[in-house]
Structure 1
Amino acid sequence: MADLTGKVALITGAARGQGEAEARLFVERGARVVVADVLDEDAQKLVADVGEDRALAVHLDVSDPAQWSSALDAAKSAFGQVDILVNNAGIYFQGPITETPVERYRKLIEVNQIGVFLGMQTLAPHMAEIGGGAIVNIVSVSSFAPLDLTAAYASTKSALLAMSKAAVGELGPQGIRVNMIHPGGVATEMGAPSGVVPQEYDNAPLGRIGQPREIATVAAFLASEDSSYCSGAEILVDGGWTVGTRNPWTTTR
């Protein structure tokens, strides 16, 4: 079990869904967590639930450099330093290329791509000062195995994958590890917005959609000293989806 005792983590998009699961698990494992999100009320509720001595809610629009600086200042003021950055915040869009408004595409770029760039740009100098740190970027299986109607979303995740890989060599000499998680479908507001899991998951190798905590446990591993020699790692957490769905005519597994 990944031990995060004494660590401080800043998690973006942490007020609900997958980010909330990560924040809760990190606190369980001993970390203090900066719950960074634009959903202020949800963030405050989460902090009240896990304990104000263990967590801090910070308003953060990840596309705004000034808000990143303020978030880091708040984290340092409350907890002294930040050892872990989980770039979890992201937004989704599905639609034909020919019908995707350019404004929607730009918003995807600002959050999914620029938001992570700014997170690493802001936190890396601080981590270097304290002797190192761990960055976990939540990418997506869409970065290398995109579905149709997801060109806008998938292209931002593909850019994030390349950015993360480039950061590995740049930040490694400063003691900063950069690793990536590729979630498949996850039962969150983004993965199942109607609350109904698409039937396609019945034919996935594990026969179900993923749960937020299943992503969180991998993030905790990559953030902990258990993965101290891991940098540049890409971990699939998709229930085998990208390997292939089961043959619907097969009656045995």
Structure 2
Amino acid sequence: MTTSTPSPRRALVTGGSGDIGGAICRRLAADGLHVLVHANSRLDRAEAVAAAIVEAGGQARAIAFDVADGDAARAALETVLADGPVQVVVNNAGIHDDAPLAGMRESQWKRVIDVSLHGFFHVTQPLLLPMARTRWGRIVSVSSVAAVLGNRGQANYAAAKAALHGATRSLAREMASRGITANVVAPGVVAGAMAADAFPAEAIRQMVPAARAGTPEEVAAVVAFLCRDEAGYVNGQVIGVNGGMG
């Protein structure tokens, strides 16, 4: 008599083709999840992350849609749900478009909030009821230390990410009885293409008590823990990964 191996839980990581997103995808795949690596327009980058995961023995595939476009997101997720529920959602997609508020264009304000905040709703909401039927789920949103401390030139980004904190705490209360947790990971300065342009090494030493940038893998490790069974009683929390910045 043979017994079939249960299918792995599926995880969707938005913005999965970037530095932090890619590290999260690789870590979740190493933990045995089937990872849906999301990108917006750069499907080739998501495909490269998925291919590397498969080559390393994991399970992954790429998916592309604009999280800020509710209709496009819903259509893409309907296709995903045709294969079963998604039980792990990592809302990592986000963009910068920095300017002092006094000189910020309305388009800068709206696009940043569209991606980080409206994108959270467009991706998470359609997945909740199928997830709830399984009585198990993990929702992790990637925020920023800017949402806690503020940052010059980033009123739009800080507002969008801080809104995730309130939404997550509310969602945690709504879904906890169904075995679903919702938490936020708020990184500080993390090494990668974005930080390299914005933060010279000397500025990092002055800003960060740890006197260094974090790594994408350090952020991914915290996200991965929150997605495990062992983290079932951690719910509605904002966890900083910032070298002591606050």
Q: Tell me which amino acid in the other structure corresponds to 1:27.
A: A
Between Structure 1 and Structure 2, how many residues are aligned?
236
Q: Identity rate of aligned residues, in percent? A: 31
Shift of 1:67: 2.8
Q: Is the 8 A contact 2:85 2:127 kept in 1?
A: no
Provide the rounded CA distance (Å) in 2 between the counterparts of 1:27 and 1:135.
Answer: 16
Q: Verify the 8 A CA contact 1:84 1:135 in the aligned structure 2.
A: yes
Distance 1:223 1:46 in 2: 20
- Identify the match of residue 179 of structure 1 among 180, 183, 195: 183
> Pairwise mapping of residues 1-253 of structure 1 onto structure 2 (< 5 A)?
6-38=8-40, 39-51=42-54, 54-77=59-82, 80-193=84-197, 197-203=200-206, 204-242=208-246
Shift in Å, 1:29: 1.6
The one-letter code of the counterpart of 1:20 is G
State how far apart, in whole Å, the 1-side matches of 2:105 and 2:44 are.
Answer: 30
Q: Counterparts of 1:170 and 1:140 in 2: how far apart (Å)?
A: 24
State the shift of 1:28 in Å: 1.4
CA contact (8 A) 1:6 1:30 kept: yes
Q: CA deviation at 1:198?
A: 4.0
Gaps of 5+ in 1: 243-253
Normalization by structure 1: what TM-score?
Answer: 0.87
| CA–CA distance in structure 2, aligned partners of residues 115 and 99 of structure 1 | 25
Q: CA offset at residue 77 of structure 1?
A: 4.5
Cα 1:224–1:189 change in 2 (3 A) is: same
Structure-2 residue corresponding to 1:246 = none
- Structure 2: gaps (5+ residues): 1-6
RMSD over aligned Cα atoms: 1.9
| Superposition deviation, residue 187 in structure 1 | 1.3
Structure 1 residues 163 and 67 mapped into 2: Cα distance closer, same or farther (>3 Å)?
same
Moved over 6 A (4+): none
Contact 2:138–2:182 (Cα < 8 Å) also in 1: yes
How many angstroms apart in 1 are the aligned matches of 2:232 and 2:133? 18
- Is the helix fraction higher in 1 or 2? 2
